[in-house]
Amino acid sequence: MPQTTDIPQDAQYPVLTYLQRLLDGTLNGDDAIHMRYPTAISQFLGFRIVEVGEALAVIELNTHPEIHGNQQGTVHGGLLCELADAAIGTAHSTLMGEGETFTSIDLKATFLRPVWNARLLARAWATHRGRTVSHYQCDIQREDGKVVARVDSAVMTLRGEHARGR
């Protein structure tokens, strides 16, 4: 694994740097941040980060109706909301400093097309970056480029006592 000389091996990286190094395969075994990546829910559901930038993230999921289906046999809308929430949370986490965390304060989903077996990409980006409340949009696309859902969310940054233990 390539190592850099400008960052000590036991360094606590900014979240964005950590995620970029995670994607390009240059993390060391003792590299750390104050957040958990990959998250437990993302591992359980099979989400994969495929792109990350400042206030931007793209998460990938291969869907299967036998695993992710609803009563009609299409992918459950709740899974699409969770995928969007993961992309939005990852995008917002790139802005967090030491001692800061965040929480979603709302989420609005618009479902545009059904999904069965598909490779989905959830692309989330900030539409407004505030000191405390930021707004995000997430488009979930199938491999044919068609948007299957659009999700808007507000995220609150927590600091100090409000961030402890979260």
Q: Catalogue all structural domains in the chain, each as residue range(s) with its CATH number.
A: 40-163 (3.10.129.10)
Its pTM surpasses 0.85: yes
pLDDT tens, position by position, 75-131: 999 999 999 999 999 999 999 988 899 999 999 999 999 999 999 999 999 999 999
Which residue pairs, CB below 8 angstroms and at least 24 apart, start in 9-17?
12/98, 14/97, 15/93, 15/94, 15/95, 15/96, 16/52, 16/53, 16/54, 16/94, 16/95
CB-based contacts of 19: which residues, under 8 Å, 6+ apart?
37, 49, 52, 90, 93, 94
CB atoms within 10 A of CB 137: 17
pLDDT band at 153 (very low <50, low <70, confident <90, very high): very high
**How buried is residue 73: exposed, middle or buried, by Cβ count under 10 Å (0-12/13-18/19+)?**
exposed
